[in-house]
Chains A and B, each alone.
Chain A
Amino acid sequence: MRSLLSLFSLLAFLFAAAVSALSTSGNRLLVILDDVAEKESYSKFLGDLESRGFQLSFESPKSESLALFHLGERRYDHVVFFPTKTKGLGPNLTPNILVDFMNANGNVLVTLTSGTAAPNSLVSLLTELEIQLPADRTNLVVDHFHYDAASAADTHDVLLLPPPTSVRPDIKNYFGAGAGKDDVLAFPRGVGAALGASELLTPILRAPRTAYSYNPKEQAEVVDDVFAAGEQLSLVSAFQARNSARLTLVGAAEMLQDKWFDVEVTKAGANKAAKTFNREFAKRVSGWTFNEIGVLRVNWIEHHLNEAGGNNESNPTIYRIKNDVKYTISLSEYVWTTWSLFTVPANDALQLEFSMLSPFHRLALTPSAAYTSAGESESGYSATFKLPDQHGIFNFKINYKRPFVSNVEEKNTVSVRHMAHDEWPRSFVISGAWPWITGVGVTVAGWLGFCALWMYSAPVGGKRAGSKKTQ
């Protein structure tokens, strides 16, 4: 019996371990394909997903049993769209349903390819997110300077790109970090998108400066009108909604196919063959989309009075103006399988706002070793500051929204009262009050003197009484 129990607990532990090696937001993954047989060409990519713990379900958009919601709850946590030949995606995948899916924290990975027109439903969804696709939908991205000489010596439609660098100096490089110098990404026969000005959009992979997008049917001879060119063309783009739901657009579905995972490619003008970085890139792009990397968690928040001899109660609801206060937040970042320390990138800052309507203080939090857990999975950030000389209802506010990192928005409300009458300095400490205090003392002494005089003074001689009488 005991051995059976221990076996059971071991199994439970193993199961827990397997579950922990998963995305932070569930493992039910729906793959939309025209034909289930097509999945053979993506077997490595899908196999990688399965080995990371995802449960894959395959559906064709025509299938009638396909539904993203069941009784108002999501049936899947993530959806992957591979290119489909149908013009629309049917009544089960309308743009509205897809937006609802994202509003319910579902993640979407969309792949396109130049050969087949993107379905209406996806184009509308992308337009809603300010991602613009070329009007004719079968545009092709070419670059006559950075192509694969081995497979596209004439057509130049297999772009070879260096692994992406970080978009901005203050953003961690989630997609190209650790890539070798010779590693190249192959982007075969893809569609480029133009991103709108939305702050929720970030390009993961931009086209090289000399690349451009054209319509192979109408502009075969010469390009008279460009949809977008150079770095304005985003080949792989990321969208993260305010609820941290993610959508990634991969312009070339072939990028994820087996044949481009381990193929040797030759840069135009170079003699050396190089291996593609596609497999690792596909892992990172899907991992980011499905909440396996770049996910932040707030473990706890604590603030207290930071004054010698003061009350050391945690998270009090009331402070006084000009109190010295210490605020600490503990954060973790999910990295593939575990929660680990979160470090703010070098040029970035985790900022705390102390605000009533508008911020009175906006301060950078500094990492504090004292609050970083021994298990190396929770990093503490703290700031000490003096509360403003304004009473009212204030918020400790953390609003950490960055590209590629899930949003952290935390608000803790406290009252800030004004000084009580007995918290001011005594009047004898204030030198300006000395004449007044002396005045009070003089009045008291004068009053006592007057009382004594009035009661005990004898008339001076008889003169005074006599003169009174004569009057």
Chain B
Amino acid sequence: MRFTQSIAPVLLLLTAGVAQAASAWGFDDGSLAVVAKKSGGTSKEKLSQKAPLSKPVSLGSTDTLKLLLTAKDNGKGKRPHQAFLVLQEPESGLEAPFPLTVKESGKAAVQISHKDLPVQLLAATKPLKASVVLASFGSAQGLNTPVFEVKIETDANAPPPTYEKPLRYGKQPEIHHTFGADPKSPPKVISLFFALAVAATLPALFISWVSLGGNLNHLSKAIGAAPLSHATFFGSIMAMEFVFFMYYTSWNLFQVLPVMGAVAAITVFSGTKALGEVQSRRLAGER
């Protein structure tokens, strides 16, 4: 009695160890079929848990993918609690599980068509990775193995599936303001040429006046007759031009206006005298 008592836990441990070491989930008779609705044609492939299919299967928009397998615990057909076919989008790692309907004997099946797939997987450009997960409670080692890849063929006539990425808080693309172009001037040579052309009109004007008989011969006479008013009048005209020049370079309007007023008053007072003298010359027939 004492012997059995002491040996029992050892035996229990041993069997547990053996069970743990040997018991593992797997599958047999795996097959994958893609049934086309239109043509009714099927393409069938054998699946093995050891190595995935070398080529990706393609799944059209009206096709149905059928997966059949027999789940086995340690070589015997049995129903696992978890029997999933997991499709993974390789770029984002997004996964969608499809539970298999399993019978007591371990025979399991699942059918997938486009309408079962979430839009993110439908929009995938790369083949989806499919793996089979078989596992259950207890000590048996679960199975999680890649079995095949499936390429989603979208209908060329239908609009491609799109989905809007959900808003996620994160940094946003940088924005740099595009400034309007600065105002541009023509080449300096051209500006200089036309500036000189404009400047050349002044000598041309004076020369043509002189050639038509223009002269300043009465200057001494005029100064002799009304020296103060002629000097002031002509000086005030020049002063007015100087006021304009100061306005252009530095003065503002409020500095300019009073000075202009003063100069204008001088022009009027001296002008009456000076122009009176000019009139007297005209009346004398000297103009």
Query: Which residues of A are at the interface with B, using a C-beta cutoff of 8 A?
Result: 142, 144-145, 153-156, 168, 170, 197-199, 209-210, 212, 214, 221-226, 229-232, 269, 322, 348-349, 351, 353-354, 359-364, 386, 388-389, 401-403, 430-435, 437-439, 441-442, 444-449, 451-453, 455-460, 464-465
Quick one: CB contact mask for B87-127 with A, threshold 8 Å, 1 for yes? 00000010101010110000000000000000000000000
Known: A446-B205, A452-B216. A144 touches B171 (CB 8 A): no
B2 within 8 A of A: no
Q: Which of B84, B101, B139 contacts A154 (CB 8 A)?
A: B139
Question: What are 6 pairs between A and B in contact, CB < 8 Å?
Answer: A229-B84, A354-B177, A389-B177, A451-B234, A455-B230, A458-B287
Q: Are A402 and B170 in contact (CB-based, < 8 A)?
A: yes
Contacts of B214 in A (CB 8 A): 453, 457
Shortest Cβ distance from B46 into chain A, in angstroms?
Answer: 25
B53 within 8 A of A: no
Contacts of B136 in A (CB 8 A): 144
Complexed CA–CA distance, A232 and B137 (Å): 22
Quick one: CB contact mask for B153-174 with A, threshold 8 Å, 1 for yes? 0000000000000111111111
B218 within 8 A of A: yes
Complexed CA–CA distance, A447 and B173 (Å): 63
Contacts of A437 in B (CB 8 A): 195
B188 within 8 A of A: yes
Known: A155-B137, A223-B99, A448-B241. A431 touches B185 (CB 8 A): yes
Q: Are B171 and A351 in contact (CB-based, < 8 A)?
A: yes
Q: Are B169 and A442 in contact (CB-based, < 8 A)?
A: no
Q: Which of A170, A199, A229, A432 contacts B186 (CB 8 A)?
A: A432
B209 within 8 A of A: yes
Q: Are B217 and A458 in contact (CB-based, < 8 A)?
A: yes
Q: Are B238 and A458 in contact (CB-based, < 8 A)?
A: no
Task: Give the most central of B141, B170, B185, B205: most A CB within 10 Å.
Answer: B170
Q: Which of these binds chain A: B5-13, B35-43, B196-204, B258-266?
A: B196-204
Q: Which 10 A-B pairs have the closest CB atoms?
A: A144-B135, A458-B217, A432-B185, A460-B213, A197-B166, A362-B175, A435-B194, A434-B195, A388-B177, A229-B97
Query: Which residues of B are at the interface with A, using a C-beta cutoff of 8 A?
Result: 79-84, 86, 93, 95, 97, 99, 101-102, 133, 135-139, 141-142, 144, 166-177, 179-180, 185-186, 188, 191-192, 194-199, 201-202, 205-206, 209, 213-219, 222, 230, 234, 237-238, 241, 244, 274, 278, 285-287
Q: Are A448 and B138 in contact (CB-based, < 8 A)?
A: no
Q: Are B84 and A212 in contact (CB-based, < 8 A)?
A: yes
Contacts of A434 in B (CB 8 A): 191-192, 194-195
Q: Which of A144, A389, A449 contacts B142 (CB 8 A)?
A: A144
Shortest Cβ distance from B53 into chain A, in angstroms?
Answer: 21
Complexed CA–CA distance, A170 and B172 (Å): 12
Known: A431-B188, A435-B194, A460-B213. A442 touches B202 (CB 8 A): yes
Complexed CA–CA distance, A442 and B201 (Å): 8
Q: Are A210 and B198 in contact (CB-based, < 8 A)?
A: no
Q: Which of B176, B199, B230 contacts A442 (CB 8 A)?
A: B199
Contacts of A222 in B (CB 8 A): 79-81, 83, 102
Complexed CA–CA distance, A401 and B168 (Å): 10
Contacts of B101 in A (CB 8 A): 224
Shortest Cβ distance from A246 into chain B, in angstroms?
Answer: 15
Task: Give the most central of B81, B136, B142, B205: most A CB within 10 Å.
Answer: B81
Complexed CA–CA distance, A153 and B17 (Å): 13
Contacts of B188 in A (CB 8 A): 431
Shortest Cβ distance from B227 into chain A, in angstroms?
Answer: 13
Q: Are A361 and B142 in contact (CB-based, < 8 A)?
A: no
Q: Which of A226, A351, A433, A448 contacts B99 (CB 8 A)?
A: A226
Q: Which of A439, A451, A458 contacts B218 (CB 8 A)?
A: A458
- Name the CB-closest residue of A to B197: A435
Q: Are A199 and B166 in contact (CB-based, < 8 A)?
A: yes
- Name the CB-closest residue of B to A200: B169
Q: Are B198 and A457 in contact (CB-based, < 8 A)?
A: no
- Name the CB-closest residue of A to B186: A432
Shortest Cβ distance from B95 into chain A, in angstroms?
Answer: 5
Complexed CA–CA distance, A322 and B86 (Å): 57
Q: Are A435 and B195 in contact (CB-based, < 8 A)?
A: yes
Complexed CA–CA distance, A354 and B139 (Å): 62
Q: Are A361 and B176 in contact (CB-based, < 8 A)?
A: yes
Shortest Cβ distance from B173 into chain A, in angstroms?
Answer: 7
Q: Are A170 and B174 in contact (CB-based, < 8 A)?
A: no
Q: Are B175 and A455 in contact (CB-based, < 8 A)?
A: no
- Name the CB-closest residue of A to B233: A455
Complexed CA–CA distance, A226 and B100 (Å): 11
Q: Are B97 and A230 in contact (CB-based, < 8 A)?
A: yes
Q: Are A224 and B99 in contact (CB-based, < 8 A)?
A: yes
Shortest Cβ distance from A229 into chain B, in angstroms?
Answer: 4
Complexed CA–CA distance, A226 and B176 (Å): 48
Q: Are B95 and A458 in contact (CB-based, < 8 A)?
A: no
Shortest Cβ distance from B42 into chain A, in angstroms?
Answer: 26
Shortest Cβ distance from B235 into chain A, in angstroms?
Answer: 11
Shortest Cβ distance from B148 into chain A, in angstroms?
Answer: 18
Known A-B contacts: A212-B82, A361-B176, A438-B196. Give 18 more (CB < 8 A): A154-B137, A199-B169, A210-B133, A224-B101, A229-B95, A269-B141, A353-B175, A401-B169, A431-B192, A435-B197, A437-B195, A438-B199, A452-B216, A456-B216, A456-B218, A457-B218, A457-B287, A464-B213
Contacts of A363 in B (CB 8 A): 174-176
Known: A144-B136, A212-B97, A432-B191. A458 touches B215 (CB 8 A): yes
Shortest Cβ distance from B82 into chain A, in angstroms?
Answer: 6
Known: A361-B175, A448-B241, A458-B218. A199 touches B137 (CB 8 A): no
Contacts of B274 in A (CB 8 A): 455
Complexed CA–CA distance, A455 and B222 (Å): 8
Contacts of A445 in B (CB 8 A): 202
Contacts of A232 in B (CB 8 A): 95
Q: Which of B95, B174, B191 contacts A209 (CB 8 A)?
A: B95
Q: Are B173 and A362 in contact (CB-based, < 8 A)?
A: yes
Contacts of A389 in B (CB 8 A): 177, 179-180
Q: Are B237 and A451 in contact (CB-based, < 8 A)?
A: yes
- Name the CB-closest residue of A to B98: A226
Complexed CA–CA distance, A209 and B202 (Å): 93
Q: Are A459 and B191 in contact (CB-based, < 8 A)?
A: no
Q: Are A435 and B97 in contact (CB-based, < 8 A)?
A: no
Complexed CA–CA distance, A438 and B198 (Å): 7
Q: Which of B79, B219, B237 contacts A221 (CB 8 A)?
A: B79
Q: Are B191 and A435 in contact (CB-based, < 8 A)?
A: yes
Task: Give the most central of A155, A199, A224, A442: most B CB within 10 Å.
Answer: A442
Contacts of A439 in B (CB 8 A): 198
Q: Are A452 and B234 in contact (CB-based, < 8 A)?
A: yes
Complexed CA–CA distance, A366 and B178 (Å): 22
Contacts of A360 in B (CB 8 A): 175, 177
